[in-house]
Structure 1
Amino acid sequence: MRPLNRTITTWAGRRVWLVGASSGIGAALAQELLLAGARVALSARRAELLQGVAARHPQAIVAPFDILDQDAWAERYQYICDQAGGVDLIVFCAAAYHPERSWDVSPDGAAHTLAVNLGSVYTGLATVLPAMLARGSGGIAIVASVAGYVGLPNASVYGPSKAALINLAELLYTDLRPRGLDVYLINPGFVQTPLTAQNQFAMPALQTPQAAAKAIRRGFAAGLFEIHFPKRFTLILKLLRWLPYRWRFALITHFLIPQ
């Protein structure tokens, strides 16, 4: 069976815009692709952290901005195009997360998480898609999460935002693949990042950001649509998603909610 996307096995000269590159998975993936020879534009709010990621990589482009500033997207995109000549692949990796049960959610906090995790992706798509569609090539990679597979405790806003990204990636694939574009859905399990450091519970199959970055690169090389890892954890959640609700709720209540 053919891969759902074109495989990416050579990164030399490939122009990547990595949004959310200052820490965690984004920073590790930026380093992975820079070492492979890609021309990577690094974006996030904190310029000093981006400079650290870009250190010793002359082909890196540091392009900090606030992803919630809709007007800034077009300016940053133009700057990156001026420096690199265009964007072959954009990776949406920025995320907000606060562990909370449903009764702890505030309207302002929920609105901020949804704006970062979901709204910013729509702004980014509106920014890059016209040029990609005009030339009939390009790639969109969306970092969602296995938290979007099923409703899990402590992910009262984060989980639904990631479920929406999974849905978005699926419909983007059916829209854009016939027009020459590739779409990748990246669903990590638990990864050691500043976001997961907030968790006060055991995180099974916890991975380093570097291991996550290598798994993502392998997924690109295989032309996968969904890149999920580590399999020993993600496959369990995939199975949980297919169980009848009565069984699923019982397992979540017994194993994941403190008694």
Structure 2
Amino acid sequence: MKQQNKIIVVGATSGLGRMLAERYIRDGHVVGIVGRRGDKLAEVAKGHSEVHCLKADVTDISQIAVHLSALAGEMGGLDLLVLCSGVGRMNPDLDYGLELPTVDTNVRGWTAVADWAFSFFMQQGYGHLAAISSVAGIRGLAPAPAYSASKAYQI
């Protein structure tokens, strides 16, 4: 029998995060899925009563660590946290207001989750943190400056 790992995917409502969560679920792991959109979390978990859902926003800096700790406890521990939450908008006119959600999510929220996971694994004595970023952090996307800068930060 395959080893059953306890895995949390932060950013599991779409894109790579969703695909990874669905794969881990299919492979029979204990999976916690985290995202802002509860309806999308329900879609991923549909038919899988063993999936642990956490509707949360990484930009809620004062609460995200509390929520993640509770989720890990509910799952009976944690072996791997996959961090792939992120947002980005095309902003060719450099509207500062469009950049703030990207900075809040991809820098502040990302850091809060990464710091929590690192501390959790250090205290536990084992575990893996996998963070997914973007090639935009290396080469940049001119019409999405905050996105590119935030991905460079993550790298």
> TM-score by structure 2 length?
0.90
> How far is the alpha carbon of 1:118 from its aligned partner?
1.7
Quick one: which amino acid aligns to residue 100 of structure 2? Answer: A
- Listed one character per residue, the Cα deviations across residues 155-189 of structure 1 (whole Å, up to 9, x for unaligned) are 221111111111xxxxxxxxxxxxxxxxxxxxxxx
1:74 aligned onto 2:65? yes
Aligned with 2:68: secondary structure? Answer: helix
| Residue matched to 1:153 | 142
> How far is the alpha carbon of 1:126 from its aligned partner?
2.7
Partners of 1:11 and 1:38 within 8 A in 2: no
Distance 1:146 1:116, change over 3 A: same
Report the number of matched residues.
155
Cα distance in 1 for partners of 2:138, 2:144 equals 11
Partners of 2:85 and 2:110 within 8 A in 1: no
Partners of 2:91 and 2:145 within 8 A in 1: yes
> How far is the alpha carbon of 1:125 from its aligned partner?
2.3
1:135 aligned onto 2:92? no
Partners of 1:30 and 1:40 within 8 A in 2: yes
Cα distance in 1 for partners of 2:58, 2:124 equals 25
| Residue matched to 1:123 | 112
> How far is the alpha carbon of 1:22 from its aligned partner?
0.9
Aligned with 1:124: secondary structure? Answer: helix
Distance 1:109 1:136, change over 3 A: same
Aligned with 1:157: secondary structure? Answer: helix
State which of 96, 105, 116 in structure 1 corresponds to 2:94: 105
Q: Percent identity?
A: 28
> How far is the alpha carbon of 1:12 from its aligned partner?
3.9
| Residue matched to 1:49 | 40
Quick one: which amino acid aligns to residue 59 of structure 1? Answer: E
Cα distance in 1 for partners of 2:33, 2:121 equals 19
| Residue matched to 2:7 | 16
1:196-215 residue pairs with structure 2 within 5 A? none
> How far is the alpha carbon of 1:40 from its aligned partner?
1.1
| Residue matched to 1:95 | 86
Cα distance in 2 for partners of 1:49, 1:12 equals 27
Cα distance in 2 for partners of 1:74, 1:92 equals 13
Partners of 2:9 and 2:84 within 8 A in 1: yes
Quick one: which amino acid aligns to residue 147 of structure 2? Answer: Y
Partners of 1:12 and 1:36 within 8 A in 2: no
> How far is the alpha carbon of 1:11 from its aligned partner?
6.6
> How far is the alpha carbon of 1:26 from its aligned partner?
1.2
| Residue matched to 1:114 | 103
**Structure 2 gap ranges (5+):** none
> How far is the alpha carbon of 1:114 from its aligned partner?
1.2
Distance 1:151 1:48, change over 3 A: closer
> How far is the alpha carbon of 1:71 from its aligned partner?
2.3
Quick one: which amino acid aligns to residue 128 of structure 1? Answer: A
Quick one: which amino acid aligns to residue 144 of structure 1? Answer: S
State which of 25, 31, 34 in structure 2 corresponds to 1:34: 25
Cα distance in 2 for partners of 1:66, 1:16 equals 18
Q: CA RMSD in A?
A: 1.8
> How far is the alpha carbon of 1:82 from its aligned partner?
2.5
